[in-house]
Amino acid sequence: MNSPLKKVIIPAIASLSLTSVLFTVSVPDGPVSAKSAGQMEKQAEKETLPLGLPNLKEKRTTEILAPGVTYTKITRGEQSEKDFFTVDVDFTETHEQAKALAKKLESEGFTPRIGRIADRAMDDNEKGPLGYLVRVGAFQTEEAAKELQQELAGIGYTGLRTVYTGEDGQQTTGPWILNVLEVDPNSFNGSILPELGKDKVQDKETLTEMAGRNQALAAINGGYFVVGSKDGTPGDLAGISVMEGKLVSEAVNGRSSLILPSANKAADIASVSSYQTAVSSDGAVREVDGLNRKPGLIRGCGGIGEDTPTENPKHDYTCKDESELIHFSPVFGEETEAGEGVEAVLNKSGEVIELRKHRGGEIPKDGSVLAGTGEAAQWLEAHAQAGMHVQVKNEIIADGQPLSLEQTTGIINGGPRLLENGKISINAAAEGFHWEENPEFYYRFGERRNPRTLAGVKADGTLLFVTVDGRAPGLSVGANFEESARIMKSLGAVDALNLDGGGSTSMTVGSQLVTRPSDQTGERPIADAILLLP
């Protein structure tokens, strides 16, 4: 911050309710008029979060980081005496299965409880309860619940979880901690840009490291990505990524993504798909299955070319395809993924300068590499011999309309959508967050409270970046999908989506982390981020 800040503290008690708000504003040094203070007070009363009962205490502290950029920290509620730690023994699809398990637990000396999980994804066509949850124990400490978990594991139970009931998604008093960045592109003279961990796909980096080396004004974590090598290339974005007008990673087709503002286009949230084709100088054309990732492993699915078991989005799942054509650019790293197959090395103009009989070689700094496996390798051998030319064409479709790469500085993958045109519209099933064969997946991911990173756009184009701390009983319980949607709507967004959350959720002001890492190991290295650069 170029100028010193001073804080103006405005306590406000909303009339006709017990809601208590403490609104603190940091502004560039100078007087704050009684009129503006009154406006802040009214705003504080009006904008209490729709979390828990309306009489919960809420405090907001706001700093103006730069013209057009504000950072607000919100704390709300308190730990409920009714919440406790317990052990989830199993999630069953039918009540009969749950009763049978409960009877078995009773015969072994335990006192089980059966919970009916009534809520389904908003766009789930199935009716009736999502499933039933069998639990044992009620403890004030996590350690005591884990002792019970170990006891159950010792007699043969598997898939056990120690959980906190304040994270269930049912009524609670919290507490919650939110961090909000509000950016008006019309007033902010800096840049809103995506950033790769260590500037390449094959790596990850903490948000504080990314913010620090770029001297960011503020930053927030970005989209989903591959964590372990069994699911592909660690650091590969599990969804679309566009940086500096260049396609870095293909889309999970049909999933919602954040289109960052540019000189040619306002910020937007859209259902995005991408299609790539390779065109040889002999006239042959073949689809390109993916960009900058290990062939054969499609994290999040939603691809093309007979992927198994599905070409529809399927979150946290890795689809497979033994015959793929993958396009590698220098942003991937120095070398392609090694393995069986062939590679065509292209120069800047698309001329094939080498056809390698194996995968895993240097990526020219001013060129690219097409790697093929299975039938795609045969295609390269037939249509990408040295001296021939191959052009790779990219097409992006956003909400059914072509989107030129020149129209945007960046796209960040996410999902599901939370708000559309001012209305709550959570298309979790369509975007792959509900697995028909495993209803528990949606319960854990969407119905339970987790740390969240959210992005939204106001009617005037102002961007909202929000984090909700979670997995921290007594400090912050997180949010589920519906609560996330209501949060974004209350903050003024008309369109909003969920970004990568959980242990990835992070925000910095400058290079200082303002969120609480939920991973036991501390701040998680991530694949990409959104940086506000002065």
Any bridge partners for residue 276, and if so which?
Answer: 288, 394
- Domains of the chain by residue range: 5-79+172-192+425-533, 85-167, 224-407
Q: Is the peptide bond before 416 cis (omega within 30 degrees of 0)?
A: yes
> Rounded CA gap, 487 and 476, in Å?
15
Average pLDDT over residues 408-424: 95
Provide CB contacts within 8 A for 496, sequence distance 6+: 269, 417, 418, 419, 454, 455, 456, 457, 464, 484, 485, 488, 489
Phi, psi of 503 (to 5 degrees): -70, -15
Average pLDDT over residues 387-407: 94
Assess whether pLDDT exceeds 70 at residue 17.
no
> Rounded CA gap, 411 and 426, in Å?
20
- pLDDT at residue number 41: 44
What is the identity of the amino acid at 149? Q
Which residue, among 465, 534, 462, has the nearest Cα to 505 in the 3D structure?
Answer: 465
- pLDDT at residue number 14: 31
In which element (H, E) is residue 95 found? helix 95-107
- pLDDT at residue number 430: 97
Confidence of residue 24 (pLDDT cuts 50, 70, 90): low
- Centre a 10 Å sphere on the Cβ of residue 475 and count the other Cβ atoms it contains: 15
Which residue, among 113, 112, 165, 175, has the nearest Cα to 139 in the 3D structure?
Answer: 165
In which element (H, E) is residue 35 found? helix 34-46
Confidence of residue 439 (pLDDT cuts 50, 70, 90): very high
CB 237 within 8 A of CB 248: yes
CB 229 within 8 A of CB 297: no
- pLDDT at residue number 7: 38
CB 207 within 8 A of CB 216: no
| pLDDT tens, residue by residue, 335-350 | 999 999 999 999 999 9
> Rounded CA gap, 44 and 38, in Å?
10
SS (H, E, C) 118-155: CCCCCCCCCCCCCEEEEEEEEECCHHHHHHHHHHHHHC
Place of tokens 């994804």: 121
- pLDDT at residue number 10: 33
Phi, psi of 250 (to 5 degrees): -75, 165
- pLDDT at residue number 26: 52
Average pLDDT over residues 482-503: 98
> Rounded CA gap, 47 and 503, in Å?
28
Confidence of residue 15 (pLDDT cuts 50, 70, 90): very low
Q: Answer left, alpha or beta for residue 288, where phi above 0 means left and psi between -120 and 50 means alpha.
A: beta
- pLDDT at residue number 498: 98
SS (H, E, C) 266-319: CCEEEEEEEEEEEEECCCCEEEECEECCCCCEEEEECCCCCCECCCCEEEEEEE
Which residue, among 241, 240, 234, 236, has the nearest Cα to 253 in the 3D structure?
Answer: 240
Question: Reduced to 3 states, what is the DSSP secondary structure of residue 59?
Answer: strand
Place of tokens 């592909």: 232
| pLDDT tens, residue by residue, 48-82 | 999 999 999 999 999 999 999 999 999 999 999 99
| pLDDT tens, residue by residue, 189-245 | 999 999 999 999 999 999 999 999 999 999 999 999 999 999 999 999 999 999 999
Strands 58-66 and 20-28: parallel
Question: What are the structure tokens assigned to 256, written together?
Answer: 């919602």
Q: What angle do CA 313, 316, 319 make, to 5 degrees?
A: 60
Assess whether pLDDT exceeds 90 at residue 495.
yes
Any bridge partners for residue 496, and if so which?
Answer: 419, 456
Pick the residue with more confidence: 35 or 468?
Answer: 468
| pLDDT tens, residue by residue, 296-321 | 999 999 999 889 999 999 999 999 99
CB 207 within 8 A of CB 220: yes
> Rounded CA gap, 524 and 204, in Å?
9
Place of tokens 């203070």: 37
CB 445 within 8 A of CB 426: no
Assess whether pLDDT exceeds 90 at residue 33.
no
Question: What are the structure tokens assigned to 171, written together?
Answer: 């009524």
> Rounded CA gap, 20 and 255, in Å?
39
Homologous superfamily (CATH) for 85-167? Sporulation related repeat (3.30.70.1070)
- Centre a 10 Å sphere on the Cβ of residue 299 and count the other Cβ atoms it contains: 28
Task: Tell me how far apart the 2 most distant CA atoms of the chain are, in Å.
Answer: 79
Confidence of residue 12 (pLDDT cuts 50, 70, 90): very low
In DSSP notation, 171-234 reads S----EEEEEEEE-TTT--SEEEEEEGGGSTT--B-HHHHHHHTT-SEEEE---B--SGGGSST
Q: For residue 54, what is the DSSP state? A: T
